[in-house]
Amino acid sequence: METLKMIQQGFGDQSLSRTQVFQWHTQFKTGHTSVDDDKHTGRPTSCTTTETVARIQQLIHQDQCQTICDIAEGVGVGYGTCQQVLTEEMGMHHVAAKFVPRILISDQKQQRIVCTELRRLASDNETFLSRVIIGDESWVYGYDPETKRQSSQWKIPTSPMPKKARQVKSNLKSMIITFFDIKVIVHKKFVPTGQTVNSGFYCEVLR
């Protein structure tokens, strides 16, 4: 105890505590001459094995929105080990999804490839667009405008002038399918009342 007091007076806060001195004294009495910690069994410093990497890859393929905590808990490794496998072993980064106008389905992606090919053909051949015929659908309304003679009426000088609308939509409407090229309309077809416009009807129109 006298020695401990002298050490504490000489070194202050940097000196050893009474418990540390007692532990070291006990070790030296039992034959230990080293002040370093003994080696002990326990969890290894690194759990990066082939099985661990494969398991993390499997979880990522199942759900790419998982956090590092979720993956580490599912595999049974530490947070740091899981992060090291994701960033260093697999070269992955956690990024946020960006907003796009619309998510394309497989058919739409295929059509986009076709459009890209058409653009290439149009840029290579100046006459390509003149050989293209496209079609479109539109609703048309029936009009029954009065002639100037039909709309004339008798009036006295003090009565207001009669009025009529230039065009008024009627209840009669029909769908028209029009095919045209770069210059003129090449074909048109009015859709009969009650007819469903589908691929079969389009084939009949094209024939």
Q: How far apart are CA 24 and CA 51, in angstroms?
A: 42
Nearby residues of 91 by Cβ (< 8 Å), 6 or more positions away: none
**Residue range 134-152, pLDDT digits in tens:** 888 888 877 666 677 777 7
What is the arrangement of strands in the sheet containing 185-190, beginning at the earlier edge strand?
134-141, 173-180, 185-190
Would you say how long the chain is, in residues? 207
Check if the beta carbon of residue 138 is closer than 8 Å to that of residue 154.
no
- Helix ranges (H only) for the chain are 2-11, 18-29, 50-62, 68-75, 79-84, 106-124, 199-206
Q: Calculate what percentage of the chain has a pLDDT beyond 70.
A: 76
Q: Is this prediction's pTM over 0.75?
A: no
**Residue range 61-92, pLDDT digits in tens:** 888 888 888 888 888 888 888 888 888 888 88
Domain ranges of the chain: 1-34, 50-89, 106-143+168-206
- The answer to whether residue 170 scores a pLDDT higher than 70 is no
Check if the beta carbon of residue 175 is closer than 8 Å to that of residue 197.
yes
